[in-house]
């Protein structure tokens, strides 16, 4: 292990954060067209691309057969309470880190000249956010995890609050209160566990025996934090509001990565730390997940605002994630439990790409027409054929078409849930119909038909910048759909380790 590999995670966390701070310090001159603003954009792009390039070293150096953590860094941080600056990744966190470093440059490119006020600060917020998100995915110390987790809210709060739409204040307050309320309970749980173990080591938390009542309470505290983030029904209503008001880049990061924090929390914390508590509430979580798939599917059908529709579709798709994670206890022995967790993980990565792409597509239209309403469009394919081709592709991926990444996770979770219970699979599989219905109905109303109005008639097809972003996402959606093996193999060993931990009662 050379110095680079030893501090790779720190580099991935702090490079964008420092880059972001630099942008704030230098600042722009308030003119989005000035050379100085251009410099800021290029610096932001440079930093995110560098971060991505460095993160490929994570992919290259990752050991698929290592059951434990890799790229570990451990320094004493707050000695008095035994808190460490403790980082490390496994097959569960690495794909999500790669997703983060992959999506962020695309978001920077997408916001290139559509952000007019304060471009330097806008890009700085994304850079800092990127570092914090990578921090969440790599922290192995509870307190460090919590700090990254909460700090993440600040840039996102600003992104929506400063660069958002008309009702941005309502949306930001709702977003902040919802997520903050849940997270505080997680902190309480950490403090309890600190009392039990004398530190904040997450791996230590996984080994400490806990009584069933304690496990139930801790599970509920975690659930409050993670269910809001995922978001699960019925604590999902902040998401459509936040998405509608967020600028395109904010929506992309929110959908592509921040929602994954919830799913990640379930596998990293809930399942291994309180396996018996998780078992106790497993059917409850499954029920909420299935409600998300069916109920939200119907709600998405009737949305008039494209961003709201995609936001609801996100909730339904994230239902597959939580469903897959909690199937273990209803499956028993043999094939299935690991398949469910793998499926949920793949679904997270895939949803990151697809929902990101969908929000970018809406952003492309919004930049031109300044409307998100489906009714304001119609016949866009006539004037923007290239864009239409991309949007149909991503819509099909959203509807879970095989050959795109959207299929992989859903397929695995449906197979696993059939083994758990026929009706789980039955309800989950309704997404084949509902997902296609709400996505393709939107496609029909937005893209197809005669040119609906003058705004549509005046539309210009994608510029090279938009084309690049969508093409990169399209290729990755197809690649992951046609050959998910590298991703799945990266996770296999870690999921095995996780299952061994879940199977071990901690009473």
Partner 1 sequence: MLNYYLTIVLAPLAAAVIAGLFGRQIGRAGSHWLTILAVGTSCALSVLVLRAMFWDGAVSENISLYTWAATDGLHMEVGFLVDRLTALMMVVVTFVSLMVHVYTIGYMHDDPGYQRFFSYISLFTFAMLMLVMSNNFLQLFFGWEAVGLVSYLLIGFWFKRESAILANLKAFLVNRVGDFGFILGIAGVVMFTGSLDYATVFSSADNVAVQTIEVLPGSAWNAMTVICILLFIGAMGKSAQAPLHVWLPDSMEGPTPISALIHAATMVTAGIFMVARMSPLFELSETALAVVVTIGAITAFFMGLLGIVQNDIKRVVAYSTLSQLGYMTVALGASAYSAAIFHLMTHAFFKALLFLAAGSVIIAMHHEQDIRKMGGLRKYMPITYWTALVGSLALIGFPGSSGFFSKDLLIEAVRESHWQGQGAVYWIAYLSVLLGVFVTALYSFRMFFLVFHGNERMDADTKSHLHETPWVVTGPLILLAIPSALIGWFTAGPVLFEGYFDDAIVVAPAHDVLAHIGSHVWHGSLALVQHIYVSPAFWLAASGTFVAWFLYLRRPDIPATIEAKMSGLHQLLVNKYYFDDLYIKGFAFCGRSFGRFLWLKGDELIIDGILVNGTANTVGKLAGVMRQLQTGYLYTYAFAMIIGLTALLSWLIWFR
Interface residues with partner 1 (CB under 8 A) are 174, 177-178, 234, 237-238, 295, 298-303, 334-339, 342, 379, 381-382, 392, 396, 401-403, 407-408, 411-412, 414-415, 417-419, 422, 425-426, 429-430, 432-433, 436-437, 440-441, 444, 447-450, 482-485, 487-489, 491-492, 495
- Judged by beta carbon, residue 107 or residue 388, the one nearer partner 1 is 388
Sign of CA dihedral 154, 156, 157, 158: positive
Spell out the residues 6+ positions from residue 380 whose beta carbon is closer than 8 angstroms to its own.
365, 387, 388, 446, 447, 456, 459
- The candidate with the shortest Cα–Cα distance to 447, out of 378, 383, 392, is 378
Nearer residue to partner 1 within complex by CB, 83 or 345 = 345
Rank residues 42 and 483 by Cβ distance to partner 1 and give the closer one.
483
Give 78 or 302: the residue with its C-beta nearer to partner 1: 302
Nearest distance in Å: CB 412, partner 1: 8
Least distance CB 153 / partner 1 (angstroms): 18
Q: CA 70, CA 89: separation in Å to the nearest integer?
A: 5
Minimum CB distance to partner 1 smaller for 249 or for 481 = 481
Tell the smallest beta-carbon distance from residue 380 to partner 1 (Å).
Answer: 10
Phi, psi of 86 (to 5 degrees): -125, 115
- Pairs from 282-286 (Cβ < 8 Å, separation ≥ 24): 282/326, 282/328, 282/329, 282/330, 283/330, 285/223, 285/232, 285/322, 285/325, 285/326, 286/322, 286/323, 286/326, 286/327, 286/330, 286/424
Q: Which is nearer to partner 1, 117 or 332 (CB)?
A: 332
Q: Which is nearer to partner 1, 138 or 303 (CB)?
A: 303
Dihedral of the alpha carbons of 400, 404, 406, 409, in degrees to the nearest 10? 110
- How far, in Å, CA of 159 to CA of 104, rounded? 14
Contact call for residues 150 and 184 (beta carbons, < 8 A): no
Instruction: Name the minimum Å distance from CB 227 to partner 1.
Output: 13
| Rounded least distance, CB 169 to partner 1, Å | 13
What's the residue count for the chain? 507
For partner 1, give the closer residue by CB, 20 or 182.
182
Q: Which residues contact 80 (CB under 8 A, 6 or more apart)?
A: none
CB of 297 to partner 1, least distance (A): 8
Q: Shortest gap between Cβ of 490 and partner 1 (angstroms)?
A: 11
Q: Looking at beta carbons only, is 45 or 429 nearer to partner 1?
A: 429
CA distance 275 to 212: 10
CB of residue 180 to partner 1, shortest distance in Å: 14
The least distance separating partner 1 from the CB of residue 54, rounded to whole angstroms, comes to 27
For residue 367 the two structure tokens come to: 């930049």
Contacts (Cβ under 8 Å, ≥6 apart) of 503: 275, 328
Residue closer to partner 1 (CB basis): 20 or 400: 400
Pairwise CA distance, residues 94 & 39, whole Å: 31
Which residues are within 8 A (CB) of 395 and not within 5 positions of it... i.e. 6 or more apart? 358, 439, 440, 442, 443
How near is the Cβ of 275 to partner 1 at its closest, in Å?
A: 19
Q: How far is the CB of 441 from partner 1 (least distance, A)?
A: 7
Q: State whether residue 289 is helix, strand or coil.
A: helix
| DSSP state for residue 75 in the 8-state scheme | E
Q: Which helix H or strand E contains 500, and what residues bound it?
A: helix 485-503
Which CB atom, from 132 or from 292, has the smaller least distance to partner 1? 292
The conformational region for residue 415 under phi > 0 = left, psi -120 to 50 = alpha, else beta, is alpha
Residue 210 CB, nearest approach to partner 1 (Å): 28
The Cα 435–Cα 346 span in angstroms is 18
Name which of 209 and 403 has its Cβ closer to partner 1: 403
């Amino acid at each position: 292990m050379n110095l680079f590999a030893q501090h790779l995670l720190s580099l991935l966390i702090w490079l964008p954060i420092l880059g972001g701070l630099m942008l704030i310090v230098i600042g722009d001159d308030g003119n989005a067209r000035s050379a100085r603003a251009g410099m800021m954009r290029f610096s932001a792009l440079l930093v995110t691309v560098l971060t991505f390039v460095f993160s490929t070293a994570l992919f290259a150096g990752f050991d698929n057969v290592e059951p434990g953590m890799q790229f570990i860094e451990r320094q004493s941080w707050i000695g008095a309470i035994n808190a460490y600056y403790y980082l490390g990744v496994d097959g569960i966190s690495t794909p999500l880190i790669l997703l983060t470093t992959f999506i962020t440059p695309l978001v920077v490119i997408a916001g290139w000249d559509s952000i007019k006020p304060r471009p330097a600060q806008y890009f700085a917020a994304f850079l800092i956010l990127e570092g914090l998100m990578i921090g969440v995915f790599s922290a192995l110390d509870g307190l460090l995890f919590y700090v990254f987790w909460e700090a993440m809210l600040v840039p996102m709060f600003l992104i929506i609050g400063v660069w958002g739409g008309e009702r941005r204040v309502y949306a930001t307050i709702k977003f902040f209160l919802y997520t903050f309320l849940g997270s505080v309970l997680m902190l309480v749980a950490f403090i309890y566990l600190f009392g039990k173990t004398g530190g904040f080591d997450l791996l230590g938390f996984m080994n400490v025996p806990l009584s069933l009542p304690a496990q139930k309470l801790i599970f509920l505290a975690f659930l409050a934090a993670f269910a809001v983030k995922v978001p699960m029904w019925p604590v999902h209503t902040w998401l459509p509001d936040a998405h509608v008001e967020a600028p395109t880049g904010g929506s992309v990061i929110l959908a592509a990565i921040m929602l994954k924090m919830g799913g990640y929390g379930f596998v990293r914390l809930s399942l291994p730390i309180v396996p018996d508590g998780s078992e106790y509430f497993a059917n409850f979580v499954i029920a909420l997940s299935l409600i998300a798939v069916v109920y939200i599917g119907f709600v998405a059908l009737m949305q008039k605002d494209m961003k709201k529709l995609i936001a609801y579709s996100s909730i339904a798709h994230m239902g597959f994630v939580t469903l897959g994670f909690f199937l273990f206890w209803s499956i028993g022995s043999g094939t299935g439990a690991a398949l469910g967790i793998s499926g949920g993980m793949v679904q997270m990565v895939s949803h990151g790409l697809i929902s990101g792409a969908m929000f970018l597509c809406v952003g492309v239209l919004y930049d031109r027409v300044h409307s998100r309403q489906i009714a304001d469009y119609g016949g866009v394919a006539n004037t923007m054929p290239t864009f239409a081709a991309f949007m149909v592709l991503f819509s099909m991926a959203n509807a879970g078409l095989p050959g795109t990444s959207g299929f992989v996770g859903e397929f695995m979770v449906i197979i696993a849930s059939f083994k758990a219970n026929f009706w789980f699979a039955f309800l989950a599989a309704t997404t084949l119909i509902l997902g296609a219905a709400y996505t393709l109905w939107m496609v029909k109303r937005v893209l197809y038909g005669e040119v609906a109005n003058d705004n549509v008639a005046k539309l210009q097809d994608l510029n090279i910048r938009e084309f690049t972003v969508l093409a990169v996402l399209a290729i990755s959606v197809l690649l992951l759909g046609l050959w998910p093996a590298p991703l799945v193999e990266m996770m296999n060993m870690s999921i095995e380790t996780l299952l061994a931990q879940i199977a071990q009662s901690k009473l």
